[in-house]
Amino acid sequence: MSSAVIRHDWSLQEIKDLFALPFNDLLFKAQTVHREYFDPNSVQISTLLSIKTGACPEDCSYCPQSARYETELEREKLMALNEVVENARIAKQNGSSRFCMGAAWRNPTDKNLDSVIEMIKAVKAEGMESCVTLGMLTPEQARKLKDAGLDYYNHNLDTSPEFYGEVITTRTYQDRLDTLANVRDAGLNVCCGGIVGMGEKPADRAGLIMQLANLPKHPESVPINMLVQVEGTPLHGEAELDPLEFIRTLAVARIVMPESFVRLSAGRTDMSDEMQAMCFFAGANSIFYGEKLLTTDNPEANRDRELFDRLGISPLQITVDAAPDERETSRELAMGKVSPIQANQVA
């Protein structure tokens, strides 16, 4: 029986107390919880592709895709379907089980959504899980994506409600919560996390984790991003976050959201192998493969495979094109929820 209780009523003080634990105690607690719910040596791999780049009307202070900032980012229109399929095939060959597509929109028009739906269907036909991040969604749009077979929708909270206004003014925190509700109500899996290292206080990192943990259902995927500073954006030049504080954030996320995949996301280019290893020990069990995360650098797949080999980590395998009951069994096997014997009985 698991000792980790699934809760949605965490207080800010409880989260702060976890952050304040001695580092070794925090990591021990996080690793203990992680082993109760997941195979500790298996990591889910995703690939993220920018299908529409730049010219976004939002003013997110960290983002080079905002039309408000002068960066060297080249703006691109919505990618052609055949290019998306080609990228998905390469991603699958490199070991990715999930293909994520991001478009720099405040919210998609119905016409744009129809184009993305064709991409989703094509990705699914390649035998991969699908995920998109397109900005705010109406309930009707979320249902259309569900009907198209979309698996995950990404919409990050970014930071705590208290610090949010220092980073973004063109979209409210409630706007984000409303989109998450629309996505969840449509029956889609939620991918939702945040960014640390934006100049926030420790209480804001605790506040972000509290918001995520107290959602009506924990996000199935929780990406924790280290700010990637891009020249021309307002957050360029921000003081770098202590690496141990980043690892603490991952560990606390693992403890309070035991069943969620916690993704070591943006910022890995600047992390040493040793830091990434500690992140995995703290409970991170998902990464992005590939040279780019939308518009910022990411470690190349070969480097990730070499690190996995050194650590004895294997990519998580999900049988996407199997029958629904077999697919769920493969997911549960990878998460350690059923034994190989039980899995064989279902198969």
For residue 90 the two structure tokens come to 């390469």
Helical axes 12-19 vs 243-256, angle rounded to 10°:
130
Q: 3-state DSSP call for residue 103?
A: strand
Q: Among residues 98, 100, 171, 205, which one is catalytic?
A: 100
Q: Among residues 184, 205, 263, 268, which one is catalytic?
A: 263
Annotated active-site residue 60? The verdict is yes
d(CA 303, CA 306): 5
Annotated active-site residue 279? The verdict is no
Q: Tokens 């294997």 correspond to what residue?
A: 314
- Which residue type occupies 127? G
Pairing of strands 42-52, 296-297: unpaired
Q: Among residues 98, 131, 184, 279, which one is catalytic?
A: 131
Of the candidates 219, 297, 224, the one whose C-alpha atom is nearest the C-alpha of residue 263 is: 224
Q: Among residues 171, 176, 184, 191, which one is catalytic?
A: 191
d(CA 35, CA 254): 11
Which residues, including other chains, have CB under 8 Å from residue 185's CB and lie 6 or more apart?
139, 142
Q: How many CB atoms lie within 10 A of CB 139?
A: 14
Torsional class of 330: left (φ above 0), alpha (ψ -120 to 50), beta (otherwise): alpha
Annotated active-site residue 63? The verdict is yes
Q: Among residues 7, 35, 63, 310, which one is catalytic?
A: 63
Annotated active-site residue 192? The verdict is no
Annotated catalytic residues are: 56, 60, 63, 100, 131, 191, 263
